[in-house]
């Protein structure tokens, strides 16, 4: 019998785009029963369903964050739909939503209303700026948040404009923090019986990525600057081009790694010399010299030769792989990071696996994302005891 870490956890998901659906998927992979609720009607579900590219009538964007869920259509704008939702809340543990602030309250489905129905309910709100502060009602997408959080100003090269991170970083981090918040609240409820509201903001989660820069700024007023592929306060670290054109990332900031790197590239005389002790000192006084010497050595070897040599010395390094190279990396296969759900509407296409590897209750991949309302009748029959006739009437009224 398959073991499920989160078996018995019931989640009602009202979400769209990436962040909240990703959190729901993480929970579903680990055994939670996640019911994704969307509006009935053509084109009225999660807006991500419309995003290209499409394959076998399914958005690959949507498919990437909505596996292992069950799908219910329900018109929450109608009194009947709200009543059904409240009946589901009575039997559920979590309401996961990323609507704009105030939307759930306008439907009389906010936390204060829902906890009267189920005092143990865990309500989540994932928004751009959270439920408090002057920016509560501002529109926010990933690039908005990357810009406002300071992340974009620190990304890119000093002589180039601020640059966004490649993927939608804030969405993924917010989804992960939302997952952590849900599990923490669930653990607390197991001890006390008390539910609570979990408030996650994309802005907050991106600010966390500022590392120790806020502390440095408040200590001495120093503002970190874009450092390209280097680091603002340490050296040597960067990407260098080998003689075959391959790019190699090298980190020699720790003293032990610096000593090994200098020995490997033929400059052991730097070790212990004034201005060469400590990554911060090397950054201030000798970064350009060190980068030149490292690049000179890289120009004499291929990328693979450089990696092999540094691996032998125990120096942190890596080839800069293209997306195609990563997709075919044997490490991806070994870690099961491309998976094929048992019931897959995408036929032969894989999806990205769950990075949480657990010995007793591993992530499971039962089904891919499905059509809106695919499981409506099953859910209403199983959880609320609705008859076929009652469900037919709901369909005729466009409630489900």
**pLDDT tens track for 325-361:** 999 999 999 999 999 999 999 999 999 999 999 999 9
The model carries a pTM of 0.94
Model confidence at 138: pLDDT above 70: yes
- Please report which confidence band the pLDDT of residue 168 belongs to, taking 50, 70 and 90 as the band edges: very high
Q: What number is the average pLDDT over the span 243-267?
A: 98
Token reading at 12: 């009602």
DSSP H or E stretch at residue 35: strand 33-38
- Please report which confidence band the pLDDT of residue 43 belongs to, taking 50, 70 and 90 as the band edges: confident
Contact 65, 20 (CB under 8 A): no
Helices (H), the chain: 19-29, 60-63, 79-90, 103-106, 111-117, 142-148, 169-192, 202-207, 213-220, 255-265, 279-298, 303-313, 323-327, 330-334, 376-384, 388-396
Rg (CA), the chain: 26
CA 17 – CA 49 distance, rounded (Å)? 9
Q: What number is the average pLDDT over the span 258-282?
A: 97
> How confident is the model over 197-215, as pLDDT tens digits?
999 999 999 999 999 999 9
CA 305 – CA 242 distance, rounded (Å)? 9
CA 233 – CA 246 distance, rounded (Å)? 26
Q: Around Cβ 369, how many Cβ atoms within 10 Å?
A: 28
- Catalytic residue of the set 33, 171, 204, 375: 171
pLDDT of residue 167: 93
- Please report which confidence band the pLDDT of residue 241 belongs to, taking 50, 70 and 90 as the band edges: very high
CA 63 – CA 160 distance, rounded (Å)? 35
For the question of residue 171 being annotated catalytic, the response is yes
CA 387 – CA 370 distance, rounded (Å)? 23
Token reading at 132: 């408090």
Token reading at 216: 């440095």
Model confidence at 157: pLDDT above 80: yes
């Amino acid at each position: 019998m398959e073991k499920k870490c989160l078996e018995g956890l019931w989640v009602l998901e009202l979400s769209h785009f990436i962040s909240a659906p990703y959190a729901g998927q993480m929970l579903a992979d680990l055994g939670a029963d996640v019911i994704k609720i969307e509006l009935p009607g053509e084109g009225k579900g999660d807006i991500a369903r419309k995003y290209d590219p499409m394959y076998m009538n399914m958005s690959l964007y949507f498919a990437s964050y909505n596996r292992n869920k069950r799908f219910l259509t329900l018109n929450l704008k109608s009194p009947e739909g709200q009543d059904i939702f409240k009946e589901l809340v009575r039997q559920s543990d979590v309401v996961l939503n990323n609507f704009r602030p105030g939307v759930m309250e306008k439907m009389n489905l906010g936390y204060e209303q829902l906890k009267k129905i189920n005092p143990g309910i865990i309500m989540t709100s994932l928004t751009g700026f959270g439920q408090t502060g002057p920016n509560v009602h501002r529109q926010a997408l990933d690039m908005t948040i990357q810009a406002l959080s300071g992340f974009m100003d620190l990304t890119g090269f000093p002589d180039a404009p601020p640059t966004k991170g490649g993927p939608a970083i804030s969405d993924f981090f917010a989804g992960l923090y939302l997952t952590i918040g849900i599990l923490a609240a669930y653990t607390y409820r197991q001890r006390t019986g008390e539910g609570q509201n979990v408030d996650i903001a994309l802005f907050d989660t991106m600010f966390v990525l500022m590392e120790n820069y806020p502390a440095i700024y408040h200590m001495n007023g120093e503002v970190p600057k874009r450092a390209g592929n280097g680091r603002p306060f340490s050296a040597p670290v960067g990407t260098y081009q080998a003689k075959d054109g391959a790019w190699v990332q090298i980190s020699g900031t720790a003293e032990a790694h610096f000593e090994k790197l200098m020995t490997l590239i033929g400059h052991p005389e730097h070790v212990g010399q004034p201005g060469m002790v400590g990554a911060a000192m090397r950054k201030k006084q000798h970064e350009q010299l060190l980068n030149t010497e490292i690049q000179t050595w890289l120009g004499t070897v291929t990328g693979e030769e450089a990696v092999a040599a540094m691996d032998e010395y125990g120096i942190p390094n890596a080839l800069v792989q293209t997306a195609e190279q990563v997709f075919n990396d044997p490490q991806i296969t070994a870690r099961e990071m491309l998976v094929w759900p048992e019931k897959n509407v995408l036929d032969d296409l894989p999806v990205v696996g769950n990075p949480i590897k657990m010995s007793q209750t591993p992530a499971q991949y039962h089904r891919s994302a499905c059509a809106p309302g695919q499981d409506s009748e099953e859910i209403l029959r199983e959880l609320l005891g609705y008859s076929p006739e009652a469900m037919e009437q709901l369909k005729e009224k466009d409630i489900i």
